[in-house]
Chains A and B, each alone.
Chain A
Amino acid sequence: MLLDRTEPLIHALIFFCGWSAIFCVTAIFVFIFKEAAPIVPRLDWGTFFFSLDWNPVPGGEEPAYGALGLLVGTFSVTILGMLIAVPIGLSAAVYISEFAGPKIKESFKIIIELLAAIPSIVWGFIGLVVLSPIIQKLPGVYVGTNLLNGAIIIAFMAVPLIVSISEDALRAVPDSYREGAMALGARKWEIVYRVLFPAAKNGLLAACMLGVGRAVGETMAVLLATGNANNIPHALTDPVKTMTATIASEFGDAEFGGDHYRVLFVIGVLLFIITCAINVTSDIIVKGIRKKHG
């Protein structure tokens, strides 16, 4: 039969494709590292991590690649975004998983799934066109595209992810825990607070970490919403510039193969390492839970 003869071929193909993910991740790392590598020994790392002087095309002598402002920008947007997203996300997950009736549960889940699907450029557009004029009305705020704007947008983007992963984590807690607590006279809120949170804490942690990963890597939304000013923010409403936005906006101008081009790849490598670490760790946490609860 024809099939018998083609079977080894198909098996080979399946094996080959099975490896595609490893192949892709390796290729990504190799390629971006290869582009970054020539500058790695030459780059002044002290300046890179501790200076605010980001001046790739200098008027005078030497270009300066002080990425402190970008690092601080990325982390301030991420942290503020998570401060908004985590409470909302966890609360929403608890409500959906423990309090909501089946109909509300279903419709909320659908809406949150749709939220997750809105592309980042649309979020950026919302930040730039809708949110910015609103923020500008606050007293003492001069620039509408700023840290707060970016953080709110990031929060809205991260929340659906946090909700769905935490909801999974809460659902993974066996019902016997709930029943046991209820038999002891605990109210729902007490069950959530005393039983579910401790039991699902790893999953919830993983959810928050994935949120952080998403926030660190987000590009188009922060490019449009944060104002892109290289500095250390002193107020919630100061504009900031993130690592991702720097790559997106400066890659086009950077001379191919030049130092600036390579430093942008260095930032890319950093982003790659940070997000991979976050994702793999949270994945291990989640897998650990699955194993524990069967």
Chain B
Amino acid sequence: MGKAANSTGAGGMFTATSHDRRKARREGIAKWTFFCACLLLIVPVLAILGYIFFEAWPVLSWEYIWENPRNNSREGGIWAPLIGTFYLVLVSLVIVAPVGILAGVYLNEYAPENWLTRSINMAVTSLAGVPSIVHGLFGAAAFVFAAGLGESLLAASLTIAVMTLPVIITATREALNAVPMAFREACWNMGATRWQTIRTIVLPNSVSGMLTGVILEVARAAGETAPILLTGAIIFTPGVPDTAPDKFFPYYLGDQFMALSMHLHAVSTQIAGIDKEMQFGTAAVLILLILFINSFSAVLRSYLRARKKW
């Protein structure tokens, strides 16, 4: 590119000097380096995901999803862990969603600007950064032993609920923050109380954002292994019925349960003589599930954002 500039007019005012050319070259190199960094990040991961799906392809079928594991998970499908993950997510959501949303409401609508609020914010940040295994230790100490719940679905769900609390709080707060102050002021001017304003104006206008938070919680809860490893997930439970409708209600709250993430851990490290496809199949379904939940959240978010009128 430097050549062309050189040949048109040597010494002209707007021709590139060697300094300019060097700069241009450096610019090009920099841009490509940055671009390559992105590719270095994205390409191997897409390749690995592709490989996982390729290896998993022979077992992926509706039967694989629908059937319970048999013969030490070497045969059959992944229904029991899948429904276990569903219940884990559901119970943790029932616990954490109201608390998290109300906490977000408090922090955005009520909390005064003082040291106390700052320390709550700091607590939210720290909570988000606590390693999952430490959550597991906490769950084991607090829910399994101290509260006497034993290793159970309820103990694991409570642990997951504590772990995902900051996800919901942060998402709720951001959603509420996006509602223009003028909306609230208009409502207050009409004589509505604070809660009435929140209930009728603020919450309905921030449902989308809160929903995003909830969905992110679901994705996080569905993928975690370390906390449930210590609080109630097990490698195998033969108690899951094979026939509908019973197979939809396999665990009660005091039961230990199978979960998809735990199942992946088990098939990749615990069960001897298992086919490679079964391992990759479990990994593939877990990835698909998480990606599906996340894309759903992304699509929902952009749809609702597009619908916004302000």
Contact = CB atoms under 8 A, between A and B. Distances in A.
| Direct contact between A and B judged by beta carbons closer than 8 A | yes
Interface string B158-199: 000010011001000000000000000000000001111000
Given A99-B31, A122-B283, A218-B131, A18 B137 contact: no
Interface in A105-159: 108, 110-115, 117-122, 124-126, 128-130, 156, 159
A280 B141 contact: no
B201 interface: no
A184 interface: no
Given A35-B141, A121-B225, A122-B287, A279 B134 contact: no
A194 interface: no
Interface string B281-305: 0010011001101110010000000
Given A28-B130, A122-B283, A187-B24, A280 B122 contact: yes
A17 B103 CA distance: 5
B130 A276 contact: yes
Contacts of B121: 283
Given A18-B120, A217-B130, A264 B26 contact: no
Q: Give the interface centre of A18, A187, A213 by most chain B CB atoms within 10 Å.
A: A18
A21 B120 CA distance: 7
A31 to B, nearest CB: 4
A40 interface: no
B153 interface: no
A17 B98 contact: yes
B124 A130 contact: no
A25 B128 contact: no
B235 to A, nearest CB: 11
Contact of A13 (B51, B102, B138): B102
B134 A14 contact: no
A156 B131 contact: no
A189 B133 contact: no
B1 interface: no
Contacts of A94: 34
B134 A113 contact: no
Count class of interface residues, chain A: 35 or more
A57 interface: no
A119 to B, nearest CB: 3
A126 B37 contact: no
A87 B37 CA distance: 8
Contacts of A265: 137, 141
B174 to A, nearest CB: 13
Given A92-B37, A111-B42, A119-B225, A275 B106 contact: no
9 contacts: A15-B110, A18-B120, A35-B137, A122-B287, A126-B52, A156-B44, A220-B226, A244-B226, A271-B131
Interface of A: 3-4, 7, 10-11, 13-22, 24-25, 27-28, 31-32, 34-35, 87-89, 91-92, 94-96, 99, 108, 110-115, 117-122, 124-126, 128-130, 156, 159, 163, 187-190, 192-193, 210, 213, 216-220, 224, 244, 247-248, 251-252, 256, 264-265, 268, 271-272, 275-276, 278-280, 283
